[in-house]
A and B are shown apart, each in its own frame.
Chain A
Amino acid sequence: AQSVTQLDSQVPVFEEAPVELRCNYSSSVSVYLFWYVQYPNQGLQLLLKYLSGSTLVESINGFEAEFNKSQTSFHLRKPSVHISDTAEYFCAVSSSRGSRLTFGEGTQLTVNP
């Protein structure tokens, strides 16, 4: 069985500040890790993923996440956030490519001016 824990339900930050959204997982097999973002009244959009290879993965809008196998973590970071980054962020894990996703509880990121 696999599970995901997002330690922070809400993260308020000021614009241009750095942010880290934490995600820890447990799994008895190899994992594939994902971060999804949900803007108000929209579906879940894939932000970035780790499937294999480099443990540091990046998105096109400045987010990055690092897969840390020893700490079973996949924390999401951005060095300088914008108002438009305000959304709910979900960490998810899959035990094989294309199979079911197991989600964390979600973290509401609110960027204030």
Chain B
Amino acid sequence: EPEVTQTPSHQVTQMGQEVILRCVPISNHLYFYWYRQILGQKVEFLVSFYNNEISEKSEIFDDQFSVERPDGSNFTLKIRSTKLEDSAMYFCASRPRGGLSYEQYFGPGTRLTVT
């Protein structure tokens, strides 16, 4: 069964550094999402992406963040100048166009630790 994959599973970085989190969505999916979960808190929506542009973003998704689909298979989240409070589990999700369920399929997550 096809699945969303994410790399790396765990990323440790120093405050102020840039990180890129990578996701490979399911191949025929057209909508892509990033969510994050700070330890002990709710899963929070960051951004959705369709047709090579951001379709919706939350107040969390400020100029520090950017997303890209560089090659038609990967979907990346870049965090410039990381802060301690960016430490969280980051989940990528994708879904096909239309369909009955509009289900979002989630990857296993990347745990980002900023020191």
Residues on A facing B (Cβ under 8 Å): 32, 36, 41-46, 49, 51, 90, 92, 94, 97-106
Given contacts A41-B108, A44-B106, A45-B106, contact A100 B58 (CB under 8 A): yes
| Chain B 99-115 interface 0/1 with A at a Cβ cutoff of 8 Å (1 = within) | 01111111111000000
How many inter-chain contacts with C-beta < 8 Å in the A-B complex? 54
Residues of A close to B4: CB separation below 8 A: 43
Residues on B facing A (Cβ under 8 Å): 3-4, 31, 33, 35, 41-45, 48, 56, 58, 91, 93, 95, 100-109
Complex: A99 Cα to B45 Cα, angstroms: 10
Complex: A100 Cα to B102 Cα, angstroms: 11
Q: List 14 A-B contacts (CB under 8 A).
A: A44-B43, A46-B103, A49-B101, A90-B43, A98-B31, A98-B95, A98-B104, A99-B56, A101-B45, A101-B104, A103-B42, A105-B41, A106-B42, A106-B43
Complex: A49 Cα to B108 Cα, angstroms: 20
Residues of A close to B107: CB separation below 8 A: 43
Closest residue of A by beta carbon distance from B95: A98
